[in-house]
Amino acid sequence: MENFTAYNPTKLHFGKNVTDKLGETVGEYGKRVLLMYGKGSIQKNGVYERVMQQLNSINAEITEFSGIKSNPLVDDVSEAAQLGKLNHIDVIVAVGGGSVIDSAKVTALSIANNTDPWAIMTFKAKPKTTIPVIAVLTLAATGTEMNGAAVIQNHKTDEKRGYVSPLMYPKSSFLDPEFTYSVPKDYTAYGIADLIAHSLEAYFGEGDATLSDRIIEAVVKEAMEYGPLVLKEPGNYEYRSKIMWAATVALNGSTNHGRKYGDWGVHDIGHNLSYLYDTPHGATLTIAYPAWLKLQKGRIPERIAKLGNQLFGTNSADDTILLLEKFFKSIDCPIKLSDINIGKEKKKEITDQMLQTQINGMVHKLTNEDREKIVELMM
Asked if residues 271 and 279 have their Cβ atoms less than 8 Å apart, the reply is: no
Asked if residues 351 and 373 have their Cβ atoms less than 8 Å apart, the reply is: no
Structure letter (DSSP) for residue 73: B
From 8-16, 135-143, 153-161, 192-200, give the range in contact with a second copy by CB under 8 A. Answer: 8-16
Asked if residues 136 and 95 have their Cβ atoms less than 8 Å apart, the reply is: yes
| Cβ proximity to a second copy, 1 vs 355, nearer residue | 1
| Cβ proximity to a second copy, 38 vs 170, nearer residue | 170
Q: Which residues, at least 6 apart from 115, have a Cβ–Cβ distance to it below 8 Å?
A: 109, 125, 127
Interface with a second copy includes 242 (CB under 8 A)? yes
At 23, the amino acid letter reads: G
| Cβ proximity to a second copy, 14 vs 277, nearer residue | 14
Interface with a second copy includes 235 (CB under 8 A)? no
Angle value at C-alpha 259, between 215 and 363, nearest 5 degrees: 115
**Helical pair 347-356 and 265-277, crossing angle rounded to 10 deg:** 130
Which residue in the set 92, 219, 317, 378 belongs to the binding site for a second copy (CB under 8 A)? 219
From 104-112, 193-201, 235-243, 353-361, give the range in contact with a second copy by CB under 8 A. Answer: 235-243
Q: Which of residues 264-293 bind a second copy (CB under 8 A)?
A: none
| Cβ proximity to a second copy, 216 vs 269, nearer residue | 216
| Cβ proximity to a second copy, 190 vs 226, nearer residue | 226
From 9-17, 107-115, 121-129, 340-348, give the range in contact with a second copy by CB under 8 A. Answer: 9-17
> C-alpha distances in angstroms, 54 versus 51, 80, 111, 216?
5, 22, 24, 36
Taking residue 359's Cβ as centre, other Cβ atoms within 10 Å add up to 23
Q: Which residues, at least 6 apart from 44, have a Cβ–Cβ distance to it below 8 Å?
A: 182
Tell which residue, 35, 20, 45, 330, has the closest CA to residue 183. 45
Question: In 172-313, where do the E strands start and end?
Answer: 172-175
Helix, coil or strand: residue 162: strand
| Cβ proximity to a second copy, 4 vs 312, nearer residue | 4
> How far apart are CB 10 and a second copy at their closest, in Å?
8
Which residue in the set 32, 85, 221, 336 belongs to the binding site for a second copy (CB under 8 A)? 221
CA pair distance 250, 263, nearest whole angstrom? 14
Helix, coil or strand: residue 154: strand
At 68, the amino acid letter reads: I
From 121-129, 250-258, 283-291, 316-324, give the range in contact with a second copy by CB under 8 A. Answer: 250-258
Q: Which of residues 13-72 bind a second copy (CB under 8 A)?
A: 13-16, 18
From 118-126, 132-140, 218-226, 268-276, give the range in contact with a second copy by CB under 8 A. Answer: 218-226
> How far apart are CB 245 and a second copy at their closest, in Å?
6
Interface with a second copy includes 12 (CB under 8 A)? yes
Interface with a second copy includes 168 (CB under 8 A)? no
Interface with a second copy includes 215 (CB under 8 A)? yes
> How far apart are CB 65 and a second copy at their closest, in Å?
28
Q: Which residues, at least 6 apart from 287, have a Cβ–Cβ distance to it below 8 Å?
A: 270, 273, 334, 335, 336, 337, 339, 340, 378
Interface with a second copy includes 4 (CB under 8 A)? yes
Interface with a second copy includes 214 (CB under 8 A)? yes
Asked if residues 55 and 27 have their Cβ atoms less than 8 Å apart, the reply is: no
Taking residue 205's Cβ as centre, other Cβ atoms within 10 Å add up to 24
> How far apart are CB 58 and a second copy at their closest, in Å?
20
From 85-93, 111-119, 180-188, 203-211, give the range in contact with a second copy by CB under 8 A. Answer: 203-211
Q: Which of residues 320-339 bind a second copy (CB under 8 A)?
A: none
Interface with a second copy includes 1 (CB under 8 A)? yes
For residue 159, how many C-alpha atoms fall within 13 Å in the half-sphere facing its CB?
A: 14
Interface with a second copy includes 246 (CB under 8 A)? yes
Interface with a second copy includes 238 (CB under 8 A)? yes
Binding site for a second copy (CB under 8 A): 1-16, 18, 146, 177, 208, 210-211, 214-215, 217-219, 221-222, 225-226, 238, 241-242, 245-246, 248-249, 254, 257-258
